[in-house]
Structure 1
Amino acid sequence: MVPEQTTPYVELGGAEGIRRLVHRFYTLMDTLPEAWDVRQMHPEDLSGSEEKLFKYLSGWLGGPPLFEQEFGHPRLRARHLPFSIASAERDQWLMCMHQAFDECVPDGPLRERLWGAIEGLADHMRNRAEPS
């Protein structure tokens, strides 16, 4: 018998664990003055953004592909093209996500693996030249 493969989604506590991470991330973005620029790219009410990130991460982490079921292929870079994203905005987003990770994702190999992937994803969203 082949053992079931555990996904990051399961290891992080399924929907509840992902919701906790995403909620903490958006709470930080909404309250940290250092995240002001990236916060301004979002609507006043963050609940829709929070729900979309939850759905995206659900599938990205090996759980139900909720985002794709509702919106189709994520095409993340294309979806972010309307927003001016350089290193400063990426770094603000990563700062909030890093703190949320520190609080919601247990330390260990999974966290290291996921953090590397998150950094790569955030870096890929940059779509404008750095200011001179």
Structure 2
Amino acid sequence: MTMNNYSNIYDAVGGFEGVTRIVEAFYPRVLKHPMLAPLFPEDIQPVMEKQALFLSQFFGGPSLYSDQYGHPMMRARHMPFPITPERAEAWLSCMRGALEDNDLPAELREFVIQRLSGPAHHFVNSNGDNEQET
């Protein structure tokens, strides 16, 4: 399977069900990651639901997130959290693992990670120097 066989990532990963499986594999990794876990609430379910809606839209599927919550404004939504370059890479690493867990072809996994790398690094708003350990 190559991306050439699909019009978008959403279709290539299996539509909303595929995106949901990725999200369900992703967040347990995030919650175990020492740099990421402190940024997320104890009740992760609402975050997972929003992420599935957002990724569906971001991957070229229906505008589920915008239909329910308005424009994503993802950088603004992430500003309250100290996002360092290391945290961006940790997030991408967790996503890479989730894609592997879902047995997606290597070419598709790399395409997805490339597509997510720009936004992940666009959210960086801290170099970590002024952070307090939690």
- TM-score scaled to structure 2, two decimals? 0.84
User: Matched residues in 1 for 2:50 and 2:64: separation?
Assistant: 9
Give me the identity figure in percent.
34
- Matched AA of 2:115: A
Match of 2:92 in 1: 94
User: Matched residues in 1 for 2:122 and 2:116: separation?
Assistant: 10
Aligned 8 A contact 1:55 1:67 in 2: yes
User: Matched residues in 2 for 1:19 and 1:128: separation?
Assistant: 30
Return 5+ residue gaps in structure 2 as ranges.
1-5
Q: How many residues align?
A: 126
Question: Within 5 Å, which residues of 2 pair with 1:1-132?
Answer: 6-30=7-31, 32=32, 35-104=33-102, 106-131=104-129
- Kindly provide the CA deviation profile for residues 41-92 of structure 1, in whole angstroms up to 9, marking residues without a partner as x: 1110110110111000011111111110111111111110000111222122
Distance 1:113-1:29 versus aligned 2 partners, 3 A rule: same
Shift of 1:105: 5.3
Give the RMSD, CA atoms, in angstroms: 1.9
- Kindly provide the CA deviation profile for residues 8-67 of structure 1, in whole angstroms up to 9, marking residues without a partner as x: 21111111110000010001112x3xx122111111011011011100001111111111
User: Matched residues in 1 for 2:25 and 2:35: separation?
Assistant: 18
